[in-house]
Amino acid sequence: MSKILLLSVFLCCTAMVVRGQEEFTVKGDSLKRTPAKTDTAKYVNLGKVAARKAAIRSAMIPGWGQIGNGLTVYRGIKVSAIYIGGTLLAMSYIQNNNNYHEFLSEIQYREANNGQSPRGSRFAVYTDINGLITAKDVYRRNREVVMFSFVALYAVNIIEAYVDARLKYFDVGDNMAIKISPSMINSNVKYGFNSFAPALKIGFRL
């Protein structure tokens, strides 16, 4: 009898001492707990940020993105090439546009005056109006090609600044190595025999 009484007292004391480790509230069929806050740092890709900034700068002023990446002799040559190419394209556009309008005016004058050329016109040597039309179309096509070249040069300027900024933050490291070793290639199976050919195996270690 004393053992049963002692065991009952022990179980009562144990039930009073023991408590739950975590407190949570029950609402419906879901259990809600307050999540622990974790200290996480947000990763920032510096190369992507610099490349976007360089592209925007080059879109605003051609060459500004290249200079913003760091002025060096190589980047200075690229900026010079951009402006030299733009100048040459502008001169070509002006020349082709002037010639196009001159031939167009000559054609319109002859159509209005029974094929007669204006007095003192340098196009009097063109006795056939079809030659004038062909020349006019050639200059018009050249003018359109120059306009597309302007757009291409502008786009190349932006793309080059973007790529240059990305490569500026691209670190290959000092652990890159190349290994070249002889090898054999199984070229074909003929008459039950394998045909092998000598080759070189190139491996890169990053």
6 falls within a domain: no
Q: Is residue 73 part of a domain?
A: yes
Q: Please state, rounded to an integer, the average pLDDT across all residues of the chain.
A: 79
Q: Is residue 204 part of a domain?
A: no
- Asked if the structure places residue 130 within a domain, the reply is yes
What's the structural domain count of the chain? 1
Kindly state whether residue 184 falls inside one of the protein's structural domains.
Answer: no
For the segment 106-163, what is each residue's pLDDT rounded down to a tens digit?
999 888 888 788 887 888 888 888 889 999 999 999 999 999 999 999 999 999 999 9
Domain that holds residue 106: 46-168
Looking at residue 96, its pLDDT comes to 96
Which pTM was predicted? 0.61
Q: Is the pLDDT of residue 198 over 60?
A: yes
Q: Is residue 134 part of a domain?
A: yes
In a domain, 164, yes or no: yes
Measured distance CA(79)–CA(127) in Å, rounded: 48
Closest CA to 82 of 148, 161, 141: 161
Residue 11 lies in a domain: no
Say if residues 146 and 91 touch (Cβ distance below 8 Å): no
